[in-house]
Chain A
Amino acid sequence: MFSGYRPIDCDLHPMVPGMKALTPYMDAFWADQVVERGITTLDSQSWPVGSPKTIRADWRGPNGRGAETVEQLRAQVLDRFGVETAILNPLYGVQLVLNQDMAVAFTRALNDWTRAEWLDRDDRLRASIVLPMQSVEAAVAEVERLAPDRRFVQVLALALGEDPLGKRQYWPIYEACVRHGLPLGIHAGSAYRHPQTSVGWTSWYLEEYAANQQGFQSCLASLLTEGALVKFPQLKVVLLESGVTWLPAFLWRLQKVWKGVRFEIPWVDRLPAEIIREQVRLTVQPFDAPAEAVPRVLDHLRSDRMLLWASDWPHWQFDGDAAVPPGIPDALLLKLLRENALATYDRIREGALA
């Protein structure tokens, strides 16, 4: 399936079984708060545990949950697919928390849990630093706290947050990313500061899941127009679980408008599509196109450096072992499975060379 390559899996989601699992990583005050106030779970509506999308049926454990142990991960992905390196992106709902102090405490606990329960147990594993986006200062502090551990290879924010991610208040975070060689990972999901669409709350999960595609467009538009990408040319942005195929049309529209109203954002002084092709990467589970359309979509992207393979474990994006989206030509496999990831993640590259 991988033509003999040992793939780098850029998007996996260990699931926190419940707040009890995190309290050992909190100070006494917050640990007691969790218990005394009955905070049992931060599972998010972005990933309802019961949804068939959230956990593939054959990856669910007897308790109905999944992605809870390293053993599951090994059996279902690492050993099964011969994965060389895998990046964990925890999606536990710490970004939804409204109390900033609580959010910081819970996010730190989540990152420490990831380190102790996962990274320490399998040396193929790497992780993203989940950012407490409720406070830019705290987010930077969290990056500084964890960056010395080279197993943290990127930072992680949600596509649907409080403010569009290009806004300048977030820039100290991107400065820290550049300082430490950490890409900015943006994953599907909402912090529920806004409805899942710009026209209000959706009725169905299918609509909500689909709406992440719009959120990614808005993120990119913001990162570009505010000038974050030109201000930090070394910053790599990785869009996780975005669906991918929306990108060309988005660029065609944005670039067309830019030709006329670029006066509004004069710091964007070359073609937006070029900037985005240089700095933005996308994982390919899911890849929202039928197999027969894939080669043409890849042609529309006009770059073979942008796509990174991911299993998206334990989300249900494919059946059996069909982990590479159908329609991807063999000629792209080496780049997709390994080289693009190595070029994106400095910290994985240094490990691979060591």
Chain B
Amino acid sequence: MMNVVQPIAVPGKPPAATLGLIDVDIHPRPKSITEFRPFLSDRWWQHLQSWGMRPRHGFTAGQPPFPKAQPLASRRDAWPPNGGTPASDLDFLRFQLLDNYGVDVGVLNPLQPSGQGDRNSAFSAAMAHAVNEWQLEHWLRKEPRLRGSIVVPYEDPQASAAEIRKRAGDPNFCQVLMMSRTAEPCGNPRYWPIYEAAAEAGLPVAFHAFGYSGWAMTNGGWPSFYIEEVSEHATSCQNQVISLVVEGVFERFPALKVILIECGFAWLPSVAWRLDTHWKTLKSEVPHLTRLPSEQIRQHVWVSTQPMEEPERGAHLVDICEWIGWDRILFASDYPHWDFDDPRQALPGTIPAERRAGIYGGNAKALYGL
């Protein structure tokens, strides 16, 4: 079977990307787990060998509870011709993504295996450190177009804060990475050391849709299908935004910036309105909230495009972008995953020409200070 083909259209970035093309969602993987070996102590390397990752669900060996639609949830044409898994080969990633679309800056979000959300917090911390070193060694020092995310063992907020402080000021890293499914709602004060360290370092905190909280994937129990899991990524992110606002995280850390990556975004106005509406009747419970929730969201929350909701009428997406704020929307390809967006095709025709440059690059430049 033919697995790899040449790009169809001539390489090049979208002409509307006049402020540059910044892709905020790329998922590198190690070719093999041994790539992490130099960055793990003997003790944790042994642990990894014996036990592997132990996320908050029952399967081992990276098998997800809801089998993906494709192997490793990846584009079928993203398996490198020289072997290895999708996005494990820098040269092929350059060829298929960076060069092909003219990506000026690509932000790495290592998802798996990264040890985030592992049941063993000490191991999670060791892995986070290793994954960050691995990003530097295998990607960031080799390719100046790439930026890394500081992977943190978020269920151990103190260790997370230490990892952030260790990387603060290193221009290779442009954000802190958490998964959207934490074991408790992410606004809970127990996570605040992470936000404190991120705000102090001037780094945004990105929540990437994924992870296993250990709780049922809906607040009414476990669903059956992968298509439901994909849908439920949005609901878990909605809960996270609600939690960040209601717990007062943005009031406590006025400099904090949060990015929702791969969470969709058309739901955000509804969540903001809901909080505004019911804050009015429930103010007495949450006196620590002094500002309208929708204002807090408008000021502190950014979203990424892929996977963009697809309304039946394109104009409806424009309404959503207006409500969220055009300056809050960042382009993401999600390479090499199956729901990848081609930068030249991703934005619907209804999005006005003058807004495209910001989405493609201008907004991310301003956010990350690139």
B232–A218 touching, CB < 8 Å: yes
Name B230's closest neighbour in chain A (CB-CB): A257
Q: What is the bound-complex CA distance between A290 and B273, given in angstroms?
A: 7
Chain B residues with CB under 8 Å of A80's CB are: none
A197–B185 touching, CB < 8 Å: yes
B236–A205 touching, CB < 8 Å: no
Chain B residues with CB under 8 Å of A209's CB are: 278, 282
Contact of B215 among A200, A213, A289 (CB under 8 A): A200
Chain B residues with CB under 8 Å of A219's CB are: 220
Chain B residues with CB under 8 Å of A286's CB are: 274, 277-278
Q: A198-B181, A198-B217 are in contact. Are A210 and B275 (CB under 8 A)?
A: yes
Q: A199-B181, A221-B228 are in contact. Are A161 and B274 (CB under 8 A)?
A: no
A248–B311 touching, CB < 8 Å: yes
The contact size tier of chain A is 35 or more
Q: A154 to chain B: closest CB distance in Å?
A: 19
A249–B266 touching, CB < 8 Å: yes
Chain A residues with CB under 8 Å of B6's CB are: none
One digit per residue, 1 when the CB lies within 8 angstroms of any chain B CB and 0 when it does not, for chain A 251-271 equals: 011111110111011000000
Name B221's closest neighbour in chain A (CB-CB): A163
Q: What is the bound-complex CA distance between A252 and B264, given in angstroms?
A: 10
Q: Which of B97-105, B194-202, B239-247 contacts A (4 or more CB under 8 A)?
A: B239-247
Name A167's closest neighbour in chain B (CB-CB): B224
Does residue A222 face the partner (Cβ distance < 8 Å to B)? yes
Q: What is the bound-complex CA distance between A242 and B319, given in angstroms?
A: 22
A253–B234 touching, CB < 8 Å: yes
Does residue B169 face the partner (Cβ distance < 8 Å to A)? no
Chain A residues with CB under 8 Å of B224's CB are: 164, 167, 222, 225-226
Does residue A246 face the partner (Cβ distance < 8 Å to B)? yes
Name B242's closest neighbour in chain A (CB-CB): A210
Does residue A159 face the partner (Cβ distance < 8 Å to B)? yes
Contact count A vs B, C-beta below 8 Å: 255
Chain A residues with CB under 8 Å of B271's CB are: 210, 213, 246
Q: Which of A106-114, A293-301, A346-354 contacts B (4 or more CB under 8 A)?
A: A293-301
B220–A160 touching, CB < 8 Å: yes
A194–B239 touching, CB < 8 Å: no
Q: A257-B227, A264-B226, A300-B319 are in contact. Are A218 and B218 (CB under 8 A)?
A: yes
Segment 241-268 of B: residues with Cβ below 8 Å from A: 242-243, 246-247, 264, 266-267
Contact of A206 among B236, B282, B310, B320 (CB under 8 A): B282
Q: A52-B284, A206-B285, A211-B242 are in contact. Are A218 and B220 (CB under 8 A)?
A: yes
Q: What is the bound-complex CA distance between A165 and B218, given in angstroms?
A: 11
Chain B residues with CB under 8 Å of A205's CB are: 282, 285
Name A272's closest neighbour in chain B (CB-CB): B227
Q: B204 to chain A: closest CB distance in Å?
A: 20
Q: What is the bound-complex CA distance between A160 and B242, given in angstroms?
A: 18
19 residue pairs from A and B, CB less than 8 Å apart? A194-B218, A195-B219, A198-B217, A199-B183, A199-B184, A199-B236, A206-B275, A210-B271, A210-B275, A218-B220, A221-B232, A253-B266, A253-B307, A253-B309, A256-B309, A256-B310, A273-B312, A289-B269, A302-B312
Residues of B within 8 A of A (CB): 69, 180-188, 213, 215-228, 230-232, 234-236, 238-240, 242-243, 246-247, 264, 266-267, 269-271, 273-279, 281-282, 284-286, 307, 309-313, 316, 319-320, 323, 338-339
Give me 5 other A-B pairs in contact (C-beta within 8 A), A203-B246, A207-B243, A300-B311 excluded.
A199-B183, A199-B215, A200-B184, A202-B243, A218-B218
Nearest 4 CB-CB pairings of A with B: A218-B218, A249-B266, A252-B309, A197-B239
